[in-house]
Structure formats: C-alpha cells, structure tokens
Structure 1
C-alpha cells in the first residue's frame, strides 16, 4: 500500500568489557532524499558499517530502496562499538524490505561482520557474547568457524553462516542451514603447550618442587627469593603444568575471557588454566585494567589461572599496590568517566626476586656489590601490605649438585597427580563436614607462640593455618599437627629474614 512504512527488527548484543547486553536493531525505509542513518549512540565503527552493509547487500543481489533508511539501536542511551552489528543491520533491512519473515527474525540473534562481497567474518569476543545470550534468544547465527567454537555452549542453537546470501536463503526456506551439533570439550586440550616445559628438567631442588605442589594445591600465593641461577624463574615458568584442568563454570568464564583477546580455536577451547607472565615495564592499566573505554587487564586474563611476576621489585609501585585488593576480593572494580566495571580476577600470584639489586647478597660463592642503602631501597619496593598477602615467602637455596636428590626424577605429571589427589581429599572432607581440619592441642600452643613473638596479623594467621591445612592434606592427615604448623611457618620465614617483623 502506498505510503505504508516497513519496519524490521533483529536482535544482537553489545559487549562492554565482559558484560553482555541485549540490543534490538530496528530498520525502517522512508521516503524523501536518499540517506542512510544509524542512531542510538553508535560509535565510529558502527557508522562505517553503513558502507559495508550497502556493498554486501549489493553483492548479494539486493538493491537498497530509494529514499531514507533509518537504523535504530535500542537501548539508545548506551554507547555502542564493535563490528558485530553488520549482520543484524543487514537482516533488519531485509526484514523491512519484505525479503524475509519478520516473525522468524524476532526469535534469533545475529552476530558478525560483513565483507564487501557479502561474506561473513569472525569478530572478537563472540564466545562471551553467546554466553550472555543464553536464555535470552532461541538461536544465534554466527560466522562458521566461530559457530564451531560456540557449539560447546549448551542451551542455545548455533547456526554456522558463510555469507549473507546463504542466510537469506535459509530464512526464505530455499536452503536450510543446519545448526551445529553440540560438542563436548576434550579434557586435557592444550597439553601440547604444557609439554614443552616439565619439572623433570629441574634437578636438585626437592624443596622447591614441594613448594610448587603446595601452592597449586591450596591456591597459595608465593614469593621466591634467591640469587640468580637457583631455579626460581624455571619453576615459575612450569607452574601451569601441575595445575589440574579447568571444568564447569570456571572453564566457561576463562573461555569467555580468552575469546575477547584471541580468535584461535585451540586457545579458546583449551581446558588448561591460563598462565600470564607480563614484563615489569607493564603499566597499571595494562596490569589491572582501565583506559577509556574501560578494558580488562592482565589479572582478568589470568582469571582461574596463574599470574607470574618475575623480578617483582622492578614492577612499579603503582602496579604492585594495585594488586592488593584484587588478591583479596577475587575481582577488580574500575571507575572511569562515571562508568563502573567489575571484572573477575581470581588468580594465583607467583613471584620471584633477588635478595639485592646485584642478586648475590648473602651468597657463599659470590661477593655482593650493593651498598646497604641500595639493598634496603630494593627490598622496600615490595611493601609490607603486599608481603602480608603472600602465603609463602621462600628462600631458594643453591642447587644440590651431589646427585642425591630424592625428587630429581619427579616430573610435572607426578606433581599434578599429587595436586589432584589432594584436591579430591579436600572435597571428600568437605562432604564429611571435616574441612577445614581442626588444629591439634600441640599445634594450637605453637600457633599462639608464633603469633605473639612475630606479631602476626589476622591475615597472616589465616594464611599460616591455610598453608598448614594444605600440608596436612598432602600427608593425608586428619588434623593439623604441630609439625604441619612448624613447616608452614618455615615456608614464610624468609619474610622476617629480609624485611623484619
């Protein structure tokens, strides 16, 4: 009918950091002078989509009608960015032009960037977007390779799309696109990368290997101190090889974060915990997040995994102090330009440092070239509040070169088995309501003595008890013994040696 306005609607989403918001795309064809307008606080990348959509539809055999074309992104009071809008805008236009059934489009979400030839291209963060759309829509249409990745998500139908032409044929009933069958993740996926590093390469460091097992078992933050060449960095680089595979909600969270920073299928679908080793020149915003718009930092990329800070005193004080709250809260809240974002940051912090700038303070076979002032200034880079958040501050001694090490043959596989068995025992004790384990009478007396003499804070006491509980689990005990507490304190003693009480 002459003068009748045509309106098409589709669904997509906006990724703001890690938050996913539903966005409705409305398209309308109007009379008057030819123009193509996108409203709803659309950023520059969305404004450029007008040319990509126009060319893609022309390549697909669709001529846009004369007159004004208006596209609205609802809600219109939130800023939007990205290139995932091309496909929903094109489908909303096709619906407004009567090329597809508007009712069918209303049940689906569309995510993807269009090439000038009408082909669909992958975008960043699509896995996190799909996770946010579960329960909101019935089906999602994605670029083919990304549809295969997202087919591991339950509760929603994923359709692989190669081009705009194929999608239009599907909605017109000419050539159906079959949804991707659900895929189960292969456990231990990502072992190839771990296989390049192994603790079997470390010889003569029995105690250090036990420390690494304890850290992985109880999620204990660790600071290693010692001269160069004793195996500190070597141990930290291999820390990920003894971590159990991720599963359940934790794995989904990690996969969503990974999809924002990489498009590689094997990396996104890996069940191995992340391990991040930033250089000490990193900025505060790069480490904990920030910028405008607000973006997650390295600590969010290390969520449910390991953050390794080698040469800890060389990081800026601003970076180190910014770690304190995330280590306690397991998340980071950022405020920029009246906008607040909260990102997950449940990471295991493993760090290493030398005892002085030259590295040989107290070494038997090397002379230290540092002045007392240099040594003091170097150590003060690591503040007492940050030290208080380490469960273990351990001095790494020289490598045992006698060949009598009892653990020299222990590799990453055996160490990971110890961690997995320990975690299984913890779950069993939780089921029996025996976790955390009680402290024996002798242990209580020792704990009180240590607390009074070293003026332990409440946080230090809790960390000492948690470390002793991990030692109890490692020896398959039922109660925290005096020996467990004594050994746990020895793994924290270097703090008082190098920084005082």
Structure 2
C-alpha cells in the first residue's frame, strides 16, 4: 500500500481555497475512484490521467486506486486536479474513429457539432481538443476578439493575444449570461467565444431558453441585446460544440450497463433540444461505449499536429476557392461550389425524403460533404463524401431507435 499527497486549488467565485489531492493505492480488484464532491469534469480525469501515464511510457498500476479531494464539503470542478501535466492532444483519445473523424471535419469546415454518448466515452476529451486543430487567428480576428474581451470587467489580457477563445460555461448559466445583458449591456459567453469555440457540456441540462439563444447567432454571427434604455449589437461568430448523454441515466444503447429509462423519458430528455436548434447543428455524432481492451490497450490516436496539418490544408483550399470556410457558404455559393456527381445527388435527395429533413438540413449536409471532399483534395462531391456527411446527422435518431 502507498499514499501520495499533492496540493491544488479549487475555485469559489474569485477565491481559490486549497485542496489536498490524496492518492491511495491498495491491494484488491483494480478500480479507480475519485471522492470529495468532484463534478463530472473532475471525475473524467481518470481517463486523462490513465492516458497521460501510459503515453509517458509508464505502467498504469493494477491496484485499487482511491483519490480523495479534501476538504470533502468543498465542490471541485474543471481539470485543475488532473495529475497529468501534458496538454490536450488528439493522441490521448483511443478508439472512437468516427468521432475523431467528425472533430477533424468540424475543424476543417468550421462546422458545429453535437457529441452523443454514455458517460466516460471521451465526448469532453474530443471537444477540448478541437481548438488545437484550428488555424491561427488572422490579425483582424485577433483585434475583434480582443475588442470583445475588453468589455468584460477583467478586460483583455495581452497574454491571450492571438489565441482563439474557448468558452465552456456551466449548465447553470442563465440566458443573459450566455447572450449578454445588464443595465449597460455587456457581452455574454456567446460573444466572448467570438472567433473561437463555445462548448456546452451536458446540453439538455441547460435551461431550455439557453440553447434557443444560440439559434440566431449560429446563422448570423451576431447577437442583439435589447433593454429598456436601448439595444447593443455584439459579434458572435463562434464554432459551437456540445455534448450530451442519450438519455437521463446516460446508458441507452450501452453494451454492458442496462438503461433504466422508459421510452417516454428518453423522448422528453432528447426533446429538450428543439428541432430548430438541432437543424442548425451540422454534425450530430454518436460516441459509443468501447470495450475495455480498446480503451486501455488500443494504440494511441493520431497526434493533433498530424490532424491539424490536414485541417489547415482543407481550410486553405476553401479560402482560395471562396474566401470563407464552408460553414459560411449560403444561397448561390452552395450551388456554385458544391457540385455533385449524379449518384451523390440521388443519395442526398433520397436521404432528405426518407429522414424528413428541412431545406436547412439538406444544405448543411451538403456543406459538410464539401468539407469532406476538401480533406481529400477532391473538386466534385462523390457518393462517398455525401454518404459520410449523412451519417453525421443521425446520432439522436440512432440513440432513440
């Protein structure tokens, strides 16, 4: 038996009370338990720690591991309690080939994404690694982002110049906190993510009005905050990524853990995300549970640096062809730049009829197919490109089916 103690900090408002991270290894069946009012993000650090140890060339201990975060009555959140010192990298995510591919497509075309799957399958890990795949900010983007941040009470920090913002508000955030507000209107999380990534974990747990606040900015890239004294416009051109469980208990479709939810409970849970909101999310990807062998012993994934090379090449292709990412194409631009082979066109139209898509869904799938083709360096969209894009809009349907 052995005991190790490290010191960290929690966050309560602007205070940072001390926390003792006590790790105990004991004989018994292998297990990894974290106790002490840890939230979901801290609990998921088990897989991050495991990945960091293995990728650092060490053997993960085959013992009963207990991590106690003291004091026990202090809530702990975020990843500051990870024992790993490595930065987020795509190689940390083992398996999950389709979800990894979807994140690559999202980065290449600036597409929004929803990751659906049971707890502990790597949804948050994947979302947190998206910013590392994105192109560097242009001077104009950096200036606009800094201008928005300068309106916050803390102001803009020069150390963040040129870094794409990544905002991840808690699911208790209100509508005004997301969209902006106050007597003298200030930008909310949506605008603070301008030219960066907005990640909403546990999307159905947010107040239903919060996702609806995103609908207009996802289309227009701006948000208007109206108050009695007048209104203020803020920029809100962000890349939206969300994660959710397929049902209230989280285990619908899990191969080993039975789901405790009734079909009606599943429908109510999934319906917290409205149809119009889902319509605006380009990639809706299932992140299924993996078997233990694949999760623990499988080979590491491709490093972020390798994936980013392909993302940057595809984005440069888009800028050269149309001067903007594929996600921003509209109207005549889609017809001009998304030429399809006859088989691809028939496949897409058939899917639209069979799955009862709206026109918006049809064109969003078409833009995703354009990005997939760009990653391959293809000019004309084939049935393979369209077929892959179609699969990225069936996560909730698959989960409910």
TM-score with structure 1 length normalisation?
A: 0.58
Residue in structure 1 matching 2:148, options 248, 257, 276: 257
CA contact (8 A) 2:204 2:270 kept: yes
For 1:260, what is the secondary structure of its paired residue?
coil
The CA deviation at 1:409 is 3.7
Residue number in structure 1 paired with 2:12: none
Q: Unaligned regions of 5+ residues in structure 2, if any?
A: 1-84, 324-332
Q: Unaligned regions of 5+ residues in structure 1, if any?
A: 1-193
Q: Which has the higher contact order (CA 8 A, sep 6+)?
A: 2
1:291 aligns with 2:291: no
Residue number in structure 2 paired with 1:488: 389
1:415 aligns with 2:307: yes
Task: State how far apart, in whole Å, the 2-side matches of 1:353 and 1:210 are.
Answer: 18
Residue number in structure 1 paired with 2:267: 376
Residue number in structure 2 paired with 1:428: 320
For 2:337, what is the secondary structure of its paired residue?
coil
The CA deviation at 1:248 is 2.5
1:477 aligns with 2:368: no
Task: State how far apart, in whole Å, the 2-side matches of 1:451 and 1:256 are.
Answer: 42
Residue number in structure 1 paired with 2:226: 335
Task: State how far apart, in whole Å, the 2-side matches of 1:428 and 1:232 are.
Answer: 32
The CA deviation at 1:373 is 2.9
Residue in structure 1 matching 2:99, options 188, 203, 208: 208
1:267 aligns with 2:168: no
Q: Which has the larger radius of gyration?
A: 1
CA contact (8 A) 2:151 2:187 kept: no
Report Cα offsets for 1:128-160 as digits up to 9, x if no partner.
xxxxxxxxxxxxxxxxxxxxxxxxxxxxxxxxx
* Aligned 1:360-375 pairs, distance under 5 A: 360-375=251-266
TM-score with structure 2 length normalisation?
A: 0.71
Residue number in structure 2 paired with 1:392: 283
* Aligned 1:217-256 pairs, distance under 5 A: 217-256=108-147
Residue number in structure 1 paired with 2:70: none
Change (3 A) 1:403 1:225: closer
Report Cα offsets for 1:390-439 as digits up to 9, x if no partner.
101111122363489998341111121111111112223338x9962311
Residue number in structure 2 paired with 1:451: 352
Residue number in structure 2 paired with 1:72: none
Task: State how far apart, in whole Å, the 2-side matches of 1:407 and 1:424 are.
Answer: 30
Change (3 A) 1:344 1:266: same
CA contact (8 A) 2:252 2:399 kept: no
CA contact (8 A) 2:203 2:244 kept: yes
Change (3 A) 1:382 1:456: same
Task: State how far apart, in whole Å, the 2-side matches of 1:407 and 1:309 are.
Answer: 29
Change (3 A) 1:430 1:325: closer
Residue number in structure 2 paired with 1:354: 245
Task: State how far apart, in whole Å, the 1-side matches of 2:389 and 2:299 are.
Answer: 20
Task: State how far apart, in whole Å, the 1-side matches of 2:339 and 2:204 are.
Answer: 37
Residue in structure 1 matching 2:339, options 411, 426, 438: 438
The CA deviation at 1:256 is 1.4
The CA deviation at 1:263 is 4.5
